[in-house]
Amino acid sequence: MVMVPIERCPTGIPGFDKITQGGFVRNSDNILTGGPGFGKTTFLLQFLWNGATKFNENGLYCSFEPDIVETLKDAMSYGWDFTKLNEQDRVKFLKFSPRTSIEDLKNELTRLISRYSIQRVCLDPVSVLALNINDEGKIREMVFELSSLMKRLNVTSILADESLESQNLTGSDVTNLNKTDIMKFLADSVTNLYESGLSGVGDRALRISKMRRTNHARTLIGMRITSKGIEIFPPEEKMQAMAMPSQMPQQQSQKPQQPASKPVQQASMPQTQTTQLRAISPSVPAQQQTQTSPQQLQR
């Protein structure tokens, strides 16, 4: 039986592609979960930036909550100037109202993906879409329609979802976040981000709960956010990352002591080795952005 190789969509995020056999499965829909400040938006932006600059794949960032201008400022702190990519129609940014209907969302996504030959799509955070839906069946239908649309349009998508990890939420907050748990069953992969370095290395951690057609790492993996973005520490690199020179104990030479006339020699320790900004701050009054229909950020 001839094995058909699985086509991958590399993220370009240091370490992540190593633990996923080369990245996400091409044209798959993927869930990224985590609490506030865990690195979800940074992961999405890095995925889009690397796609355009390293792999020649156009991208689309859809925001349901974060302000686009602030998001671009965050990206610039890592050296990712999306303004230039927008001018070249390589990465587009779009802001939707949380009250946008699923039909309006699908129509606008279809139009933009076709117009700009988009291959990577990020939605941040998709859980906002479920805030005004109380019927679990309708939420499941919405998620299924979005997932099916992305596959028909041949794009690799990442849907950011808010997680209860390390959060002290109760009542309606818990209910709203749990509404989108169904996405984890329908998605091709689920990646969870954690705030604390549970793996023993880095200031954060990551765990891949599932990734279809992939022999992925199944344990907690160390992660940190640097001035260049996210870095993942695969198991084989964990010890090297932990053994920083300043943390290494002083090692004494095992050489036997010489006669008193000769001083004891100590071995030397080895060194270890979208959209323009004018469009992103559109001339449309801010109060109009809360209407149901999406406001596209024209070039």
Q: Is the pLDDT of residue 72 over 60?
A: yes
Rounded to an integer, what distance in angstroms lies between the CA atom of residue 20 and that of residue 10? Answer: 9
C-alpha atoms less than 13 angstroms from C-alpha of 59 in its C-beta half-sphere: 26
Q: What is the CATH number of the domain that holds 142?
A: 3.40.50.300
E strands, the chain, in order: 8-9, 24-25, 29-34, 58-63, 91-95, 118-124, 156-162, 189-194, 204-211, 221-226, 229-233
pLDDT at residue 202, as a whole number:
59
Its domain, for residue 101, covers 8-196
In the predicted model, what is the mean pLDDT of residues 269-282? 39
Exposed e or buried b per residue across 25-44, where buried means at least 16 C-beta atoms within 10 angstroms of its C-beta: bebbbbbbbbbeebbbbbbb
The verdict on residue 242 lying in a domain is: no
pLDDT at residue 172, as a whole number:
45
User: For the chain, how many structural domains are there in total?
Assistant: 1
SS3 52: helix
The verdict on residue 40 lying in a domain is: yes
Rounded to an integer, what distance in angstroms lies between the CA atom of residue 108 and that of residue 114? Answer: 10
The verdict on residue 28 lying in a domain is: yes
Specify the DSSP class assigned to residue 295. B
Specify the DSSP class assigned to residue 49. H
pLDDT in tens, 240-252: 554 444 333 344 3
Rounded to an integer, what distance in angstroms lies between the CA atom of residue 93 and that of residue 83? Answer: 10
Q: Residue 84: enclosing H or E segment and its boundaries?
A: helix 82-87
The torsion angle over the Cα atoms of residues 43, 47, 49 and 50, rounded to 10 degrees, is 130
Specify the DSSP class assigned to residue 192. E
Token pair, residue 217, equals 């790492």
pLDDT at residue 63, as a whole number:
94
> For residue 40, what are the contacts with CB-CB under 8 A and spacing of at least 6?
32, 33, 34, 124, 125, 160, 193
pLDDT at residue 81, as a whole number:
97
The verdict on residue 174 lying in a domain is: yes
Listed as own residue / partner, the contacts of 240-246 with beta carbons closer than 8 Å and 24 or more positions apart are 240/272, 241/201, 241/202, 242/200, 242/201, 243/272, 244/272, 245/271, 245/272
pLDDT at residue 131, as a whole number:
78
Q: Among the ranges 57-61, 163-167, 234-238, which has the highest mean pLDDT value?
A: 57-61
pLDDT at residue 55, as a whole number:
98
pLDDT at residue 57, as a whole number:
98
The verdict on residue 68 lying in a domain is: yes
pLDDT in tens, 121-179: 999 998 888 777 778 788 888 888 999 999 999 999 999 998 765 444 344 444 444 56
SS3 144: helix
- When the pLDDT of each residue in the chain is averaged and rounded to a whole number, the result is 78
pLDDT at residue 5, as a whole number:
87
Q: Is the pLDDT of residue 257 over 50?
A: no
pLDDT in tens, 24-54: 999 999 999 998 889 999 999 999 999 999 9
Q: Is the pLDDT of residue 183 over 90?
A: no
The verdict on residue 224 lying in a domain is: no
The verdict on residue 226 lying in a domain is: no
Single-letter residue type at 169? L
Report the predicted TM-score, pTM, of the whole model to 2 decimal places: 0.75
CA 298 to chain centre: 25
Token pair, residue 116, equals 């700009």
The verdict on residue 238 lying in a domain is: no
User: Which percentage of the chain shows pLDDT scores above 90?
Assistant: 52
In the predicted model, what is the mean pLDDT of residues 216-238? 88
